[in-house]
Structure 1
Amino acid sequence: MSRLDSQKGAPGQAPAAGGRSRWTPRSTRRAPDGRPGWTRLLLGVLAPLLATAVALAAFWPVYQSIEFVRMAAVTVVVAGALAVLGARFRWSPLLVAALTAAVVLIAGVPLAIPSEATAGGWLPTGPALVHLLEATALSWRQLVTIVTPVGAYQALLVPAFLLGLVTAVLSASLALRSRHPRLALVPPFLLLAAAVALGPTEVAPAWTIAVGALLVLVSAVWAVLLPAGPTTSELPGSRRSRQHADRAAATPLIGHSVSRSRSLRLAITRVAAIAVVLAVALAGSTVLATTLAPASDRDVIRAHVEQPFVPRDYPSPLAGFRSYLDPATRDETLLTVEGLPADARLRLATVDTYTGVVYAVGDASAGAGNASGSGNASRSGNASGSGTDADGEDGSSSSADAAGSASASGSGVFTRVPYRLTPTATGTRVDLTVRVDRFSDVWVPDAGALEQLRFLGPRADALTDSFSYNAATGTAAVSAGLRPGDSYRLTAILPPATDDVDVASLRPGTAPLPEPAAVPDALTEWLTRNAAAPASSDEPAAPGGSLQRALDALASTGYVSHGIDPDTPRSVSGHGIARLETLFTEQPMVGDQEQYATAAALIARQLGFPARVVLGFRPDGAAAGDTSGPVAVTGADIDAWVEIQDSSGRWVTIDPTPAVRDIPERAPDEPTPISKPQTVVPPPVVEDPEESTPAAPDSEVSDPPAEQPWWLAAVRIVLTVAGWTLLIAAILAAPFLAVIAAKARRRRTRRRRGSADARIRAGWLEARDTAVDYGIDIPASATRREAAARIGSKTAVTLASVADRVSFSPDRPDDDDADKVWQGVDELRRRVAERHTRRERLRARIALTSLRRPR
């Protein structure tokens, strides 16, 4: 051992057994009983908790509420405390898991279901605990079938709470107690992947990339610079602990020759360099994601989960139009509405998918619609029985911004909605209270653009859970069905009235709606005759002008009859192809709102306008301006009208039904004379009955494509998230990999290129650069022997002596001597690496000190 090695307290020498090095940081010291110190535990847990908090931020587009922020902050702190206590007192993993479950039971209700907590929102109740246990299993599906953001609605915070708690406890425990603390990096990235999979489809990718890049930054700084927490391999009495202590006492610690101030400066420099590199990568990734991101929505779990309400499972509401006018029940009160403005209408359902049989409520699937229920379908709206207005515990349902956004088919989707909706429509805000008297159906009458709906009465919870809303069409539904005795309050935005709109000046909008499955030939011929501009007119052939002329022709030639009263002309219900053929061929034209609204919508579609039919109620009291008190809505108030979209995106309301007036007698059919042919007509050919049998018509609605299994969709999402994560990680790791590759190339060149004496001198340079990268301060002017003394290794001294002899001796070495020198270099690099932790070895590999050092 050299004189420098034998000096007590010399730079690089480890303390004697039982002693304490003056360079030992306070954070790495243990308590007197051998357990990890509190300071070390607290410092070791900061990085995994920060990474977990960053990953939880990916859930912000799902919740966007202060309750979520409180839940995330408290969850991370509690999980960190649990991990620290487990490491300090050496609890078994099973005990830590049991205490984590206890935290779920104690803190789950105040944090994840705050609306059901007591004592100021910090203590659970018995029913709330039952709800928490149910939500642990059921809230996952509810979260992916509801419109985001959900805030603190019901128990939908439970998934984020459970994922955040488990991730924080697991990550912090791995960092503090595992032999491989870098495994603690994995749980936060899995949490980020879960947040993306459970998130909305319309979030901009820049948000996800920003969160992911920030998580990579935290993880990189943690892995390179932050001290690893106490591991199980360092517990007093373990074999690895004794081996580590013996090796530390027998060999000098190379890095201890660096002063504290220099170490601090190096740490700050490396942190700044990492931050700059990651900031540049983050900015570039964000720009690329914003400019080159695909226009389609993200492929997440909620895109593959069947929605809670499928309208094609129910008969078309327009098919039951005539049943509201049954003479026996048409004057009975169906609903009682308070707060309805003058001339306002109650919207029951919007139908935008014409199948050739019915006009149905569409959904997001192309060609969606219910082909069943044609003709005079029975309606459950005039069910017998009376109800009373019962106020009970409130349940609420509404929607959020962009709820039920229109899909490629334009029908939108029915989705469960949280507490509130932020409609984009402008107009007058109204508050309505609706009491259900004799109405019974799945469709919920509303008005305008819904902002909030709150159910009342004993069935409030059941109706809230089954409530769905389609913001694209303004249609609300409850799969549990409304019954007499139910009631609800709603807040909506009524758009400005469009009664005075000049239809001739309108231009078609761009809303994509499902194409009609078929259009009657009689309607097309009638439109050709009545929509064309007069030959003597100089008016340009505009779609608005053609639509105005077609509506004027309907108003002048059409007559209204429901065909129910015995003294009125016959008028068949329904609005299929056959019924519309009859409407446009018989004279006079006789129908009611069901046929005229359907015909007007198809006419507008033929002229290029997006058009849909709305079924609803127009109470006599509201129409007369009488809104001083509750308005009774009866079956006689049923109405149907048309909404068309103009080029500004506004939906314009049009009433195409002609005014009620006396219907003239039906003109008798006059036989058409047929002249006798001049040539002899051959006798008709007798056809084989089997050959004349018509072929079965093709189905009007194509079979839906086979749905992918849920596990395949989940695998696709996981692979997509993993691919993007690896791509981001590769971009961010590229500078560090470049440094490692440059050093590897330099080492290979030194080993193989040049004569034997040049390779030996290059071997010494490699040994010196290795020591410099590990933080040993070797002045540039130091001789080889002085540098070897600072390294503090016999192998270094030998390599320096051989390099000096080659440089100054006349004897020339051969290739075998050079190979032996490089074997010594490899041995020195291995021994130096063994004296340092994994973090220090990684820092040495990516250090730029030796690359910047002059040769």
Structure 2
Amino acid sequence: MSAAASARDALRRLRELLSALNIWGLGYVLLGIGLATVAAWPLYAAPRALIVGIVGGLLGMLVAVVARVLRWNLLMSALVAAGVYVVAAAPLAVPSSLTSIPAFFLGVRDAVLGVALGWKQILTLNPPLGEYQAVLVPLMVVMLFGSFAATLLVLEGGRRAAWAVAVVSTMSVFGIAFGLIGTSSAITLWGIALPAPREWLLGISVFLAGLVWLIGRARLRRAQALRIVAAQNVTRSAAPVWLGIRRHLLSGVLLIVALVAGVAVVPAAAQWSDRTVLRDDVEPMVVVQRQISPLSTYRSWFTTSMLDEPVVSISGDTGDLERIRIATLDAYDGEDFHISPDDRFSRLPRTAAPDAGRLSLEFTVGEAYRGIWVPAPAGLAQAPTFEGARAEKLADGFHVDDEGDTAITIAETSDEREGLEPGDRYGVLVDAPDETPTLTDVRGGDSLLDSEAYPALAEWATMQEQPRTGAGYLEVIDRLRARGYLSHALLEDEQATGWISALKSAGGYSFAPTYAGHSAARIEELFTSLVDQERRAGADADPKMLVAAVGDDEQFAVAAALLAELWGLESRVVLGARLPAAEEVPGIPACDTACTGANMTAWVEVRSSGGDWTAVDVTPQSAMLPSTITEGEQLPEHPTVPEQLRSEALDPPQAQSDSRNTDAPPEEGGSDTLASLLAVARVVGLSLLALLLLVLPLLVVVVAKNIRQRTRRLAGDPESRLVGAWEELVDVYADDERPTPWFGTRVQAAVAVDREAATRLAELVDQGVFAAHPPTEADAEAAWTIVDEERAAIAERRTRWQNVRSHLRLRSFLARVAPRRARASSDHRLAVGTLAVAGAGAGRQEEDA
């Protein structure tokens, strides 16, 4: 064909492409691109996401239109679409690729890898994602390839075109499935509370768009068919007017019912279950759960080797920031406070910019600290900017919890552990703190604590006779701190000299021994001493006589958290350090430019009536020693307190000790190896299961075809096997896209197929079925030999991929659903075959007679 003829042919196909039916379909795909882009907006909340969504969708449509005009096959079209993606994805979806030529090639690499890895990245980041790294790549993939597939389908013209609705709907589902955990705020519509209005509106819009397109497409196809009939001068009877009216009314009623049902069902469905999105299941909790509770090792900060060593150094104006947080512990199991297994850690994008309401600080990790917890203030506006040789690893491993109160990094260290190590540096951008909410106006509720498990705690709380309000709770905590006594050690030895000397120089201090730990037994021991002391001294005794509980922030933070639960208040324990803007607490000084072990503290946070957390300091006093009162002893009118407590510390029995070694426990190599192997096995198993689920439908098709063939070949009598051979050959032709007419005789069908094997088999089957004598085993074997030879001949002329497609094709199954409809529309053709069958049957009956 000459170049001019090829150009004319392409121009003709382009004119055919611009038919009303195709333009209607392309308009539907364009609307789907817009809806999918709107659905993805909350996930990104960046103008560039709109560009990626719209431009990516238009590129996919363009490739599909060109493929249709030039009549490319599916493989060629898909390769061109992939090439367009590789070229366009870097400048569109990876903004950093535009900074330099090397950055462009890195962007292309990220775009290619993002097809497989980008989905996990967006699931481990807290939305909105903005333009962080390559997070826009999955959106580009969905929009470009989704619009490409949808456009090919709408231009198909056959029954498969309706599958475009599923593709367009899936494009919109991306933004919802990968988006925010919470839904949009409820609104009231016509007196009905409608939760998640944005999600509801998107769903209804996608539904209506698909419905309107299908209805319009059906009408356009019908009009097209009528024009063809009119062009052939074929007259048709006009349909009654009432049929058209009824059809329109029925469509309108169905549409109204769908809308009303949506309005009615959405509120109920929102209450049936919590919203679940894909990001709910992606967490670095494996590393978090391997960690020892940081509260359990609290006393290690006060040993001689750690007391004056810097934990973290801070540069920059801390302003009104009051605290540096290391870990927020929100679960207690009676043994230790830890991160709840239900918490979720995700990445934090780096999209914020400094402004008047934000503080910029630089942190340097000191020699006294290493671990996964990242010291930082609350309210991080973006992910930290790490510096140094490990910057990229630390950034990739950085995660924060849902409320942004605990930050971790799971980057591997030089000693094959995880987290920060001395010398690591990072900068943070922090939102300026709001006004601290108070607890005085908070009202308590039903107890959240099992009082039977903590009888001494419950009894002491009852003895205080305070109301179940925020003010009452704060009064109880003040009494708890005033009746406690600060001590960080069991023995007054070399390891304790540093903090003891510091307390003495601050105003006089006498050592008192105390166990470590914060188990339920240890907390009950603390409250038992308070209850016994108050009983002996009396409720009206001098406050000095009520001091009895010895411990430090580890025990008193847990005690205060449990008291909050007894008051019906939600609480948690935080480990960190106070900054100069915080209220001064005797015993644990605040830190300014360098936080050492001596500055480490723990406090309780209680949820206020507005939903915010309020910090409550719990460090006990260190000025008044505990007093030992004997039962029935008459207290002196003016009691004195000895200047120095002269007591010898005795080692307690092992069974009564709840102390914990301040050093980290030895590594359990076998357990870690087993855990790693189990984690790998779990990933491999889930991957194989997912692959099996994907392949399972294909396996079902292959097995069903084999069972069908075996059933026909092994039928009970030769006549059934003979007929089964013909049916098998018809199915072979159907899967080879060579459909056999369902009307007429077998010979007529064989002639229509135009295959010599079909003609031979049709004659053999008709001879065996309609002959005076039943067919023999040899006839059945000969018939199946023809089928096997024809199957082999067809397979030989096809490529390997075409053979695979033929084995997996469903046309031989679906074709058997259509015969009844085909017969109903072709009665005049069936009459010929029916008469032939009837005549043969009558002839056999006469011979038998």
3-state DSSP of counterpart to 2:622: coil
Instruction: State yes or no: 1:361 paired with 2:339.
Output: yes
Matched residue type, 1:218: A
**Whole-Å Cα distance in 1 between the matches of residues 624 and 176 of structure 2?**
64
Partner of 2:96: 115
Partner of 2:525: 582
Partner of 2:383: 453
1:271–1:157: structure 2 CA closer, same or farther, 3 Å change rule?
farther
Matches within 5 A, 1:706-785: none
Instruction: State yes or no: 1:482 paired with 2:482.
Output: no
5+ residue gaps, structure 2, are 1-7, 185-195, 412-418, 490-494, 501-510, 534-547, 586-590, 634-681, 695-820, 827-849
Matches within 5 A, 1:276-355: 280=256, 283-295=259-271, 296-306=273-283, 311-337=288-314, 338-341=316-319, 344-355=322-333
3-state DSSP of counterpart to 1:189: helix
Question: 1:585 Cα deviation (Å)?
Answer: 4.1
Question: 1:646 Cα deviation (Å)?
Answer: 3.7
1:59 to 40, 52, 65: 40
Partner of 1:694: none
Matches within 5 A, 1:27-426: 36-37=15-16, 39-40=18-19, 45-118=26-99, 125-177=104-156, 179-180=158-159, 181-203=161-183, 205-225=196-216, 250-252=232-234, 280=256, 283-295=259-271, 296-306=273-283, 311-337=288-314, 338-341=316-319, 344-364=322-342, 412-419=343-350
Q: Deviations over 1:242-267 (max 9, x none)?
A: x9999876444879x99xxxxxxxx9
**Whole-Å Cα distance in 1 between the matches of residues 482 and 127 of structure 2?**
48
Q: Deviations over 1:378-403 (max 9, x none)?
A: xxxxxxxxxxxxxxxxxxxxxxxxxx
**Whole-Å Cα distance in 2 between the matches of residues 352 and 303 of structure 1?**
19
3-state DSSP of counterpart to 2:574: strand
3-state DSSP of counterpart to 1:334: strand
1:570 to 498, 513, 533: 513
1:655 to 603, 607, 617: 617
Conserved in 2, the CA contact under 8 Å of 1:508 and 1:646?
no
**Whole-Å Cα distance in 1 between the matches of residues 68 and 478 of structure 2?**
83
Conserved in 1, the CA contact under 8 Å of 2:154 and 2:162?
yes
Q: Deviations over 1:224-278 (max 9, x none)?
A: 4359999xxx9xxxxxxxx9999876444879x99xxxxxxxx9x9999999778
5+ residue gaps, structure 1, are 1-28, 235-242, 259-266, 365-411, 534-540, 672-706, 719-825, 832-855
Matched residue type, 1:522: A
Conserved in 1, the CA contact under 8 Å of 2:374 and 2:420?
yes
**Whole-Å Cα distance in 1 between the matches of residues 457 and 269 of structure 2?**
45
Conserved in 1, the CA contact under 8 Å of 2:557 and 2:602?
yes
Partner of 1:635: 597
Question: 1:544 Cα deviation (Å)?
Answer: 4.3
Conserved in 2, the CA contact under 8 Å of 1:355 and 1:516?
no
Q: Deviations over 1:401-444 (max 9, x none)?
A: xxxxxxxxxxx43222334699xxxx975333322233322112
Conserved in 1, the CA contact under 8 Å of 2:372 and 2:410?
yes
Compute the TM-score of the two structures, normalised by the length of structure 1.
0.58
Question: 1:360 Cα deviation (Å)?
Answer: 1.5
Conserved in 1, the CA contact under 8 Å of 2:293 and 2:336?
yes
Question: 1:294 Cα deviation (Å)?
Answer: 2.3
Question: 1:451 Cα deviation (Å)?
Answer: 2.6
**Whole-Å Cα distance in 2 between the matches of residues 569 and 145 of structure 1?**
48
3-state DSSP of counterpart to 1:125: helix
1:104–1:309: structure 2 CA closer, same or farther, 3 Å change rule?
farther
RMSD (Å), alpha carbons? 4.8
Matched residue type, 1:114: P
Partner of 2:746: none
3-state DSSP of counterpart to 1:451: coil
Question: 1:198 Cα deviation (Å)?
Answer: 3.3
Instruction: State yes or no: 1:465 paired with 2:396.
Output: yes
1:309–1:516: structure 2 CA closer, same or farther, 3 Å change rule?
farther
Conserved in 1, the CA contact under 8 Å of 2:605 and 2:616?
yes
Conserved in 2, the CA contact under 8 Å of 1:611 and 1:642?
yes
**Whole-Å Cα distance in 2 between the matches of residues 282 and 228 of structure 1?**
21
Matched residue type, 1:583: L
Matches within 5 A, 1:7-22: none
Partner of 2:571: 611
1:31–1:465: structure 2 CA closer, same or farther, 3 Å change rule?
closer
Matches within 5 A, 1:536-555: 541-544=467-470, 546-555=472-481
3-state DSSP of counterpart to 2:292: coil
Instruction: State yes or no: 1:522 paired with 2:456.
Output: yes
3-state DSSP of counterpart to 2:573: strand
Instruction: State yes or no: 1:532 paired with 2:513.
Output: no
Question: 1:71 Cα deviation (Å)?
Answer: 0.8
Matched residue type, 2:396: D
* 306-315 or 328-337: bigger deviation: 306-315
Partner of 1:433: 362
Conserved in 1, the CA contact under 8 Å of 2:439 and 2:471?
no
**Whole-Å Cα distance in 1 between the matches of residues 385 and 295 of structure 2?**
25
* 517-526 or 81-90: bigger deviation: 517-526
Matched residue type, 1:66: P
Conserved in 2, the CA contact under 8 Å of 1:106 and 1:124?
no
1:556 to 482, 489, 493: 482
**Whole-Å Cα distance in 2 between the matches of residues 316 and 418 of structure 1?**
27
State the aligned residue count: 575
Matched residue type, 1:475: T
Matched residue type, 2:95: P
**Whole-Å Cα distance in 2 between the matches of residues 714 and 192 of structure 1?**
23
Matched residue type, 1:431: S
3-state DSSP of counterpart to 2:270: coil
1:275–1:217: structure 2 CA closer, same or farther, 3 Å change rule?
farther
Instruction: State yes or no: 1:599 paired with 2:530.
Output: no
Conserved in 1, the CA contact under 8 Å of 2:125 and 2:346?
yes
1:508 to 441, 444, 447: 444
**Whole-Å Cα distance in 1 between the matches of residues 349 and 451 of structure 2?**
35
Compute the TM-score of the two structures, normalised by the length of structure 2.
0.58
Matched residue type, 1:641: W
Question: 1:96 Cα deviation (Å)?
Answer: 0.7
Conserved in 2, the CA contact under 8 Å of 1:199 and 1:300?
yes
1:103–1:250: structure 2 CA closer, same or farther, 3 Å change rule?
same
Q: Deviations over 1:165-224 (max 9, x none)?
A: 222112212222454433433321343445544344423554344333323333333334
1:187–1:653: structure 2 CA closer, same or farther, 3 Å change rule?
closer
Conserved in 2, the CA contact under 8 Å of 1:619 and 1:632?
no
Instruction: Decide which structure has greater helix share.
Output: 2
**Whole-Å Cα distance in 2 between the matches of residues 303 and 485 of structure 1?**
31
Q: Which has the higher contact order (CA 8 A, sep 6+)?
A: 1
**Whole-Å Cα distance in 1 between the matches of residues 166 and 436 of structure 2?**
57
Question: 1:73 Cα deviation (Å)?
Answer: 0.9
